[in-house]
Amino acid sequence: MRKLINWLDNHLLKIGVGFLLAFIPLWPKLPLIDVPHTWVYIRLEDIFLTALVFIWVLNLLKGRLSLKTPLTLPIFLYWLIGGISLVFSLVFLSSRLSNFFPNVAILHWVRRIEYMVIFLIAFSTVKSLKDVYHYLFILIFTVLGVLFYGFGQKLLGFPAFLTMNEEFAKGIPLYLPEGARITSTFAGHYDLAAYLVFVIAILSALIFGVQKKLAKIGLLGIVLLCLFLLLSTASRVSFMVYLITMTIMLWWQKRKLLIIPVILVSILFMNITSGVGERYLKTFRVKQVVFDLQTGKPIATVDKIEDGKIITEAEKSPAEESLPAGSGYIGLPTTVTTAPKTMTVSIIKKQPLATTSGEVASISGSFLIQKALVYDISLTTRIQGEWPRAIAAFKRNPLLGTGYSSINLATDNDYLRMLGETGIFGLLSFLFLIANLAIFIKYALKKITQPFLRSLAIGVAAGFTGLAVNAVLIDIFEASKVAFSIWLILGITLGGLKLYYEEKIPLMSEIKKILFSPLFSIIILFILTFSFFAHSLNNYFVGDDFTWLRWAAQSTFKDIPSFFTNAAGFFYRPVPKIIYLISFTVFWLKSFGYHLLSLIFHFGTSAFLYLFTLKSSRNKLLAALAALIFLIMPSHGESLFWISTIGNDFAALLIIGGLYFFSLFRQNNKKRYYLFSFLLLLLAILSYEGAIVGPLIILWYELTLGQKRIKSQIAFLLLLPAYLLLRSWAGAHGLSGDYNYNLNLFFANSLGNLLGYLGLILTGPNFLSFYDSWRNFGRQYKNIFLLFSGLSMVLAVMIFWWGRRKVRFSSLAIFSFGLAILSLLPFLGLGNITERYSYLSSSGVAIILGLTLCKIYEFFRKKKIVYALLSLILIMGLLTNYYLSELNKTNKDWYKAGEMSLKLLSGLRLKYITLTYGKTFYFVDVPIREGRAWVFPVGLDDALWHSFRDETLKIQTVPSLEQALDLLDKTPNSHVFVFEKGELQEVVREVKQVPIK
């Protein structure tokens, strides 16, 4: 008896871990204790785990176990930040949050502790490789149990115990209909699919780690059965993650030749297994969509049109196996050049079969029928409901979030959920935990040669990577059965690795490598781009935007070859035309998507500038400063907030990218980099007229930072005459007005504009008022202006030359100065300056400012590193604050301009939607600008075309109200509108009745 007690005393924790490894996946989620205000229950596994934790704590207190693991510190840090977030939400936010219950929030925090404490327990029980073998045998038999019950559901009618809603969560056994998605012993098909992806990666990796052929065949058979069950869940996300996971596992196992066959066989299995293949096809479906022209919003997908009535598809529940369409739409281009027709009809909306009536009363009005890609209800729910809720919660308290359970039961994105519930600190603590896990496994695999343990570690690492990807669309780390299994298996695996690798991991050194790596810097740039400028995503269309959109609406993909050969009097920008056509296909008249594209281009240019500066200087601080300064320069207002500048932005991205690849060519002498650079410069020239300076910038690089081999520039320089000939042949739009060259004023304009652009780039749009005053002075006193400007330029050259001898400017500084000047060459001789023309030039100025800050940093560093850091932080802080404040002011102008545009279009459409045929609209005082933003500089024709799609409607801008009223009297069926403080009002001439005497 005493021996039995001693044996249990020594092995009870191991027995408990093995029991939970099998019990948690196999035991259905049957309720035990109800938690008020939610349908989440305390279950039997919680009781068992609590008992196991109690035994583990007793062993810790006796000194028989240690808390020392590779993940102890990050786990406790994650718990601590979660606790701080919880306390903050309970004390400061709970009274302002709807449907927030303190007991539920505390339970969610305790559940996170519960998930991870099992890692510490499992890790402490691994004393030898034999223990790992025992656990894996239990895992294999557990998987067999999951397979048995899953196929039993499919073939023998075994019941399912689900938690998809409040009634199901009560433990009611449900019998799945034929063709339903299998859940096995799990509470939902997504949970089962995620568990299978994880164990498939582990068991597949072990095939390469065991020696006996019978064991290999047995593992392969289990893997194939798991794959069939995975396909039976019909989970599209998990199947894609499975392919990613298997690719990673085979790559790490150095079995790259097997990747393609495994993917092909898996896809073959998918095609012969009903469910998942069909669901993939239903992710996006081409349907006719009815849009309400009064609001511009989609109403529903069209089933059929009969007798002037639009009958919509019946609405269905997301739980139905047919995967109904959602309310999210992606527009498709029309197959003809004319606009889609509008119909003034009634709509019959079908209702679910559960209602008493199959149809409801019709809705009368005018509607636009257009083909669209309709994405399913699952994706729609994420995009329109769950993710915006998480983002809104994050915005309320970015650092600590709004507390556990404050968003909803599900977010279908674990990372957004962490941001919403625990803020930036909570997400970073979890990422720190993952980084520690990755670093430990990386170092352990370098030392461990034992094939079985090595294969196990690779399988677990690949499986966890797959689940981390899966967490983008599913709350994987919050699903109890999956989460418990993950941390259990991680504890067992890391415990086994620790047996063979006990060296201290250079954690801080590895983290420092990550933090200072180019990839991390680029990720930070991406985050900063959307942190600083996400508010611009709400801006609406203005000005030239409608011209580009109208052109895209009347084009098709068959027209793309003609973009290169026939400009039709328009700008010669074939590449942006393709971008606008694709964008209109995807986003239609949703401005969000176009602004998102602008920010992506801006981020890409900043990233390429970082890489180029890093490659040219080998100074990470300089590269980071230059990229950050360029990202936030106040002269970027038009380029960031005006959709019409997409061509300009994309050309700058391509030029800086081409510059980076040419620098790689010069340093590595690999011809493919030369080819990449040439192709990017070619696309840049085909994107924007100003990009003609691209070859000159490459030449300037060769002369200052390169090897001064002029022959290498011939191919680039040949782009210039080729472009000019192609542009002329296509009949492109030429220069005119202020945006033209005047030879008599060319020198004066060039001097003045150069100073204007440099001032604009350095200080922002506020400089333009001073610049305008200076130009007015120049017009009145031309000779004095020219003399002063000339002396200023001579003085600047002398200072530069003197400074070069004293300070020895680096070649990078000389190149950057040339980059700034060369980028402005096409615009210096014009009659005016504009913000968007300074975009590419500002990249050179950003590098120069970065070099200046680095010089200041080095100066103070000689005295004391603390002074250097403080000076750098202070200067960058002030610069960032000023630059961002200027950009925010500019964005407010663009937002107001967009609001004026939106009010005009929606107001007119609401009032005259059915009455525009043959009408004439006269507009007075049409707003041209709102602060720094354009409103309607090219008139209203294109804007109102999108609103009415009526070719008979005539639009005319009139200088004065008197003239408009005169035209009103002469033109039948006409209306006069006047803008007053941005608001549109209709003017009606009063007719007085004079009594007859």
Phi, psi dihedral angles at 227 (to 5 degrees): -65, -45
Nearest 5°: the CA angle 46, 47, 53 is 85
Nearest 5°: the CA angle 959, 960, 961 is 140
pLDDT at 390: 78
pLDDT tens sequence across 648-689: 999 999 999 999 999 999 988 889 999 999 999 999 999 998
Region of poorest pLDDT, from 46-55, 187-196, 454-463, 770-779: 770-779
Question: What's this model's pTM, rounded to 2 decimal places?
Answer: 0.75
pLDDT tens sequence across 741-764: 666 666 767 777 888 888 899 998
Residue 352: pLDDT over 60 = no
pLDDT at 306: 57
Chain-centroid distance of CA 20 in Å reads 39
SS3 (DSSP) at 970? helix
pLDDT at 703: 92
Identify the residue with better confidence: 443 or 779: 443
**Mean pLDDT of the region 38-56:** 82
Is residue 340 very low, low, confident or very high in pLDDT (cuts 50, 70, 90)?
very low
Q: What is the Cα–Cα distance from 838 to 636, expressed in whole angstroms? A: 8
Identify the residue with better confidence: 625 or 376: 625
pLDDT tens sequence across 256-304: 899 999 999 888 887 776 545 555 445 444 556 665 554 455 656 666 6
Q: What is the Cα–Cα distance from 963 to 481, expressed in whole angstroms? A: 76
The three state secondary structure string of 327-369 is EEEEECCCCCCCCCCEEEEEEECECCCCCCCCECCCEEEEEEE
Residue 342: pLDDT over 50 = no
Q: Which residue has the tokens 């392969």?
A: 220
pLDDT at 497: 92
pLDDT at 492: 95
Rounded mean pLDDT of the chain? 81
Identify the residue with better confidence: 42 or 257: 257
Tokens read off for 756: 């204007």
Region of poorest pLDDT, from 82-86, 145-149, 346-350: 346-350
Smallest Cα–Cα separation from 464: which of 424, 444, 500, 435? Answer: 435
Identify the residue with better confidence: 411 or 354: 411
**Mean pLDDT of the region 162-171:** 64
pLDDT at 321: 36
Is residue 76 very low, low, confident or very high in pLDDT (cuts 50, 70, 90)?
very high
Q: What is the Cα–Cα distance from 346 to 364, expressed in whole angstroms? A: 4
pLDDT at 341: 43
Measure the CA dihedral 746/751/755/760, to 10°: 0
Residue 731: pLDDT over 90 = no
Identify the residue with better confidence: 800 or 534: 534
**Mean pLDDT of the region 35-61:** 81
Residue 921: pLDDT over 70 = yes
pLDDT at 177: 74
Residue 772: pLDDT over 90 = no
Tokens read off for 358: 């199959």
Identify the residue with better confidence: 322 or 800: 800
pLDDT tens sequence across 942-986: 888 887 777 888 888 888 888 888 888 888 888 899 888 777 888
CB 743 within 8 A of CB 864: no
Tokens read off for 196: 């299978």
Q: Which residue has the tokens 């067992």?
A: 492
pLDDT tens sequence across 476-496: 888 888 999 999 999 999 999
pLDDT at 625: 94
**Mean pLDDT of the region 986-992:** 69
Q: What is the Cα–Cα distance from 192 to 165, expressed in whole angstroms? A: 17
Q: What is the Cα–Cα distance from 111 to 113, expressed in whole angstroms? A: 5
pLDDT at 309: 58
**Mean pLDDT of the region 145-173:** 79
Query: What are the beta bridge partners of residue 359?
Result: 350
- Look at the chain and count its residues: 997
Burial class (CB in 10 A: 0-12, 13-18, 19+), 741: middle
Is residue 324 very low, low, confident or very high in pLDDT (cuts 50, 70, 90)?
very low
Written as one string, the DSSP assignment of 578-636 is HHHHHHHHHHTT-HHHHHHHHHHHHHHHHHHHHHHHHHHH--HHHHHHHHHHHHH-GGG
**Mean pLDDT of the region 803-826:** 78
CB 110 within 8 A of CB 405: no
SS3 (DSSP) at 322? coil
Tokens read off for 651: 């050309």
Tally of CB atoms within 10 A around 549: 25
Q: What is the Cα–Cα distance from 579 to 949, expressed in whole angstroms? A: 23
pLDDT at 318: 35
Tokens read off for 94: 């709970």
Pairing of strands 954-958, 920-924: parallel
Q: What is the Cα–Cα distance from 444 to 441, expressed in whole angstroms? A: 5
CB 848 within 8 A of CB 609: no
CB 861 within 8 A of CB 607: no
pLDDT at 513: 81
Nearest 5°: the CA angle 194, 196, 197 is 65
Phi, psi dihedral angles at 122 (to 5 degrees): -60, -40
Residue 328: pLDDT over 50 = no
Tokens read off for 518: 């180019």
Q: What is the Cα–Cα distance from 12 to 6, expressed in whole angstroms? A: 10
Residue 138: pLDDT over 90 = yes
Query: What are the beta bridge partners of residue 552?
Result: none
**Mean pLDDT of the region 827-838:** 85
CB 24 within 8 A of CB 15: no
pLDDT tens sequence across 208-236: 988 888 999 999 999 999 998 988 887 77
SS3 (DSSP) at 390? helix
869 CB-near residues (< 8 Å, 6+ apart): none
**Mean pLDDT of the region 863-885:** 86
Q: What is the Cα–Cα distance from 228 to 467, expressed in whole angstroms? A: 19
Is residue 320 very low, low, confident or very high in pLDDT (cuts 50, 70, 90)?
very low
State the first-to-last Cα distance of the chain, in angstroms, to the nearest integer.
Answer: 128
